[in-house]
Amino acid sequence: MTRPQVLRLAIKYHDKLNAIGHSPVKDTSAKSLHGRMNHIMWMCLELPRLSDESKLNRWLGFIQGVLSTTTMYTIDNMREQVSEIIKGDKE
Question: pLDDT tens, position by position, for the chain (91 residues)?
Answer: 899 999 999 999 999 999 999 999 999 999 999 999 999 999 999 999 999 999 999 999 999 999 999 888 999 999 999 999 988 877 6
pLDDT of 91 reads 65
Please count the other Cβ atoms lying within 10 Å of the Cβ belonging to residue 17: 20
Total domains, the chain = 1
Neighbours of 56 (CB within 10 A): 19
Which residues form the domain of 34? 3-90
